[in-house]
A = this chain, B = another copy of it.
């Protein structure tokens, strides 16, 4: 995985994990890789992963069972909720920006179609 410098690594990892969750990567038993495992895989310090996990826990997306690992919340709608939330936020953000540029919805749609 490549990290950019514009965002802290732990933030990029958070996004990365959320997208994995949405794409059903941990759907088996909901278990996420251990802190150390993922740290090794991504070649970052375990503390950085820890921070990402802690953040994901406070976002109510995963939970941690003491000494047995971290798990995706067992909420059937979680994936849909996350997806909807991201879709909403990112689209809103995008449209707001376009509005500031004085570009209206029709123009945007045409532009997207052409891409």
Q: A5-B64, A9-B66 are in contact. Are A115 and B101 (CB under 8 A)?
A: no
Contact assessment for A109 and B111 in the assembled complex, using a CB-CB cutoff below 8 Å: no
Query: Which positions 85-115 of chain A face chain B at CB distance < 8 Å?
Result: 86-87, 90-92, 94-95, 97-98, 100-103, 105, 108-109, 111-113, 115
Number of copies of chain A assembled together: 4
Dominant SS among interface residues on chain A:
helix
List the B residue with the shortest CB-CB distance to A5. Answer: B66
Interface residues on A, range: 20 to 34
Q: A5-B66, A102-B23 are in contact. Are A112 and B97 (CB under 8 A)?
A: no
Distance in Å from the Cβ of A94 to the closest Cβ of chain B? 4
Bound together, the chains give a CA A108 to CA B109 distance in angstroms of 9
Tell me the A residues contacting B by CB distance below 8 Å.
Answer: 5, 8-9, 19, 22-23, 58, 64, 66, 83, 86-87, 90-92, 94-95, 97-98, 100-103, 105, 108-109, 111-113, 115
